[in-house]
Amino acid sequence: MAKKRVVVLGSTGSIGTQTLDVVRRHADKLEVVALAVGARADELLAQARAFGVRHLAVGREEVAGLPVADDLRAQAHGGEGEGSLAFGPEGVAALAHLPEADVVVNALVGAAGLRASFEALSAGKVLALANKESLVVGGDLIMPLAARVDEQRRARGMAPKTGPAGALMPIDSEHGAIYQCLLGEDEREVSRLWVTASGGPFRGRKRSELEGITPAQALAHPTWNMGAKISIDSSTLMNKGLEVIEAHHLFAMPYDKIEVVVQPQSAIHSMVEYSDGSVKAHLGTTDMRIPIQFALSYPERWSAPVAPLDFRTLGSLEFAAPDTETFRCLALAREAGRTGGTLPCVMNAANEVAVAAFLAEEGTYLGIAACVEAVMEAHAAEGVQQVESLGQLEEVDAWARAKARAWVKAR
Ligand SMILES: NC(=O)c1ccc[n+]([C@@H]2O[C@H](COP(=O)([O-])OP(=O)(O)OC[C@H]3O[C@@H](n4cnc5c(N)ncnc54)[C@H](OP(=O)(O)O)[C@@H]3O)[C@@H](O)[C@H]2O)c1
């Protein structure tokens, strides 16, 4: 069978490097054809050389003036066949519709990833999506595009005989788990999705115990090793809020059928409950290469990238309700999701600004939820709009960022 040709956007990050590791392990089935990063051009160059990649992009335009840019040009334009090198956000998003690509892994961080998701599906590619913010902000635009690519894949005989056609493959472990629990089932029989949460490093603490939390404390996630932004989101439970909205879009599930349950061992990656009371759970080693590989191998299964769970040494599995009084971001995200329209876009943008301020020690930990709430209220007062276009979302996103920055500065 022909190799799947893969674009990796965000190749130097936590998901990006693990994606490259999966490609390395399955080099007979996968080939990298393009790579994009934000600023770490030296690492990009090393990856491009190691995987023989000639289509490259760097998000930060100023990198074009650095000495490493000459080496990147030589890598892109040297040798046989065509290559390309671009600097700036358009260049990154343009890789998503590269003619020689089959699959785009979107491992960018934040709403900056929405355009690439949009471009990938518009060009009829399979989108392997880690960038959950794409769906939180633009799910109303992305899901109809994914349905169109699913139809194209069925019409061209590219879809499996049963099950989803595979245009939009979630990489988030929870959504990958739900995707697998739904295989072979009638979705009308689903009574609830159970999205599991580790609870983050501050599980069990009360609000007063979260004052003065430092970035180093919040970055120390108990079970997953991830990029900085998602680590902070996990600690505030905003990550779970984003995932609830992501699940709503991906599985066309109303919010009252999406529950969150804390499962501190992170062994159960999520569950689906059916009308007859049966519950299917997906368990696995806490290693993102498993869901990344499934997103790339579907409808096949390939040999495991890591040692599977050994149930004899797993010990106990605990469950608890999330504390949304203390971790208000989860409740705020649910509210944004239920309201819908442009409110999730505003919520997400305010969160990105508040998290960046906290990491830069310009804002406080408890200020994250407070900032998100204040900016959501301001938007609700002005009037939440229906989502109509990418341009509209970019404008709303910019408005919310400006409001959030002003809020942080005023504190
Ligand atoms: N990490 C996980 O375990 C995990 C699990 C589930 C879902 N996710 C989701 O996956 C996404 C990526 O997370 P991560 O943890 O891998 O993040 P990360 O480690 O911070 O990596 C982000 C990647 O995106 C690149 N990037 C950042 N801004 C960019 C821009 N403007 N243009 C082009 N590239 C840019 C970075 O490049 P530089 O290195 O050059 O800055 C880096 O390659 C997030 O949406 C996250 O929520 C992550």
Given ligand 1 and candidates 9, 72, 172, 230, which is best to mutate, with the most ligand atoms within 8 Å of its CB? 230
Q: Which atom of ligand 1 is nearest to the CA of 172?
A: 6
Nearest CA to ligand 1 atom 10: 130
Pairing of the two strands 279-283 and 268-274: antiparallel
* Cβ 14 under 6 angstroms from ligand 1: yes
Q: What is the pLDDT of residue 228?
A: 96
The pLDDT tens digits for 293-317 are: 999 999 999 999 999 999 999 999 9
User: Region 109-124: what's the mean pLDDT?
Assistant: 97
For residue 14, tell me if it sits in a domain.
Answer: yes
For residue 123, tell me if it sits in a domain.
Answer: yes
Given ligand 1 and candidates 7, 15, 225, which is best to mutate, with the most ligand atoms within 8 Å of its CB? 15
Where does the pLDDT of residue 350 fall: very low under 50, low under 70, confident under 90, or very high at 90 and above?
A: very high
Q: Does position 34 have pLDDT exceeding 90, yes or no?
A: yes
The pLDDT tens digits for 157-169 are: 999 988 999 999 9
Please count the structural domains in the chain: 1
Q: Cα(222)–Cα(272) distance, rounded to whole angstroms?
A: 25
Average pLDDT, the chain: 97
- Tell me how far the alpha carbon of residue 13 lies from the centroid of ligand 1, in angstroms: 5
Q: Does position 201 have pLDDT exceeding 90, yes or no?
A: yes
For residue 316, tell me if it sits in a domain.
Answer: no
Given ligand 1 and candidates 14, 19, 47, which is best to mutate, with the most ligand atoms within 8 Å of its CB? 14
Sign of CA dihedral 120, 122, 124, 126: positive
Q: Which atom of ligand 1 is nearest to the CA of 233?
A: 47
* Cβ contacts of 86 within 8 Å, gap of 6 or more: 56, 57, 58, 92, 94, 95
- Tell me how far the alpha carbon of residue 117 lies from the centroid of ligand 1, in angstroms: 14
Q: Cα(183)–Cα(171) distance, rounded to whole angstroms?
A: 16
Q: What is the pLDDT of residue 157?
A: 95
Where does the pLDDT of residue 357 fall: very low under 50, low under 70, confident under 90, or very high at 90 and above?
A: very high
Domain that holds residue 165: 4-170
Where does the pLDDT of residue 333 fall: very low under 50, low under 70, confident under 90, or very high at 90 and above?
A: very high
Q: What is the pLDDT of residue 347?
A: 98
* Cβ 91 under 6 angstroms from ligand 1: no
The pLDDT tens digits for 65-76 are: 999 999 999 999
For residue 144, tell me if it sits in a domain.
Answer: yes
The pLDDT tens digits for 8-28 are: 999 999 999 999 999 999 999
Identity of the amino acid at 57: A
∠ CA 386-392-397, nearest 5°, is 100
Q: What is the pLDDT of residue 212?
A: 94
Q: Which atom of ligand 1 is nearest to the CA of 173?
A: 6
Q: Which atom of ligand 1 is nearest to the CA of 130?
A: 10
For residue 96, tell me if it sits in a domain.
Answer: yes
Residue 389 to residues 181, 341, 361, Cα–Cα distance (Å): 33, 11, 35
Where does the pLDDT of residue 325 fall: very low under 50, low under 70, confident under 90, or very high at 90 and above?
A: very high
* Cβ 132 under 6 angstroms from ligand 1: yes
Q: What is the 3-state secondary structure (H, E, C) of the chain?
A: CCCEEEEEECCCCHHHHHHHHHHHHCCCCEEEEEEEECCCHHHHHHHHHHHCCCEEEECCHHHHHCCHHHHHHHHHHCCCCCCEEEECHHHHHHHHHCCCCCEEEECCCCHHHHHHHHHHHHCCCEEEECCCHHHHHHHHHHHHHHHHHHHHHHHCCCCCCCCCCCCEEECCHHHHHHHHHHCCCCHHHEEEEEEEECCCCCCCCCHHHHCCCCHHHHHCCCCCCCCHHHHHHHHHCHHHHHHHHHHHHHCCCCHHHEEEEECCCCCEEEEEEECCCCEEEEECCCCCHHHHHHHHHCCCCCCCCCCCCCHHHHCCCCCECCCCCCCHHHHHHHHHHHHCCCHHHHHHHHHHHHHHHHHCCCCCCHHHHHHHHHHHHHHHHHCCCCCCCHHHHHHHHHHHHHHHHHHHHHC
For residue 166, tell me if it sits in a domain.
Answer: yes
For residue 212, tell me if it sits in a domain.
Answer: no
For residue 279, tell me if it sits in a domain.
Answer: no
Residue identified by tokens 């090393």 is: 46
Where does the pLDDT of residue 221 fall: very low under 50, low under 70, confident under 90, or very high at 90 and above?
A: confident
* Cβ 164 under 6 angstroms from ligand 1: no
CATH code of the domain covering residue 144: 3.40.50.720
Pick the residue with more confidence: 80 or 2? Answer: 2
The pLDDT tens digits for 170-186 are: 999 999 999 999 999 99
Query: Does pTM surpass 0.95?
Result: yes
* Cβ 175 under 6 angstroms from ligand 1: no
* Cβ 133 under 6 angstroms from ligand 1: yes
Q: Which atom of ligand 1 is nearest to the CA of 239?
A: 47
Q: Does position 379 have pLDDT exceeding 90, yes or no?
A: yes
Q: Does position 1 have pLDDT exceeding 90, yes or no?
A: no
- Tell me how far the alpha carbon of residue 207 lies from the centroid of ligand 1, in angstroms: 29
Nearest CA to ligand 1 atom 25: 10
Q: Does position 79 have pLDDT exceeding 80, yes or no?
A: no
* Cβ 348 under 6 angstroms from ligand 1: no
* First-to-last C-alpha distance (Å) of the chain: 59
* Cβ 404 under 6 angstroms from ligand 1: no
Q: Cα(258)–Cα(380) distance, rounded to whole angstroms?
A: 24
* Cβ 258 under 6 angstroms from ligand 1: no
User: Region 233-254: what's the mean pLDDT?
Assistant: 98
Distance of CA 95 to the CA centre of its chain: 18
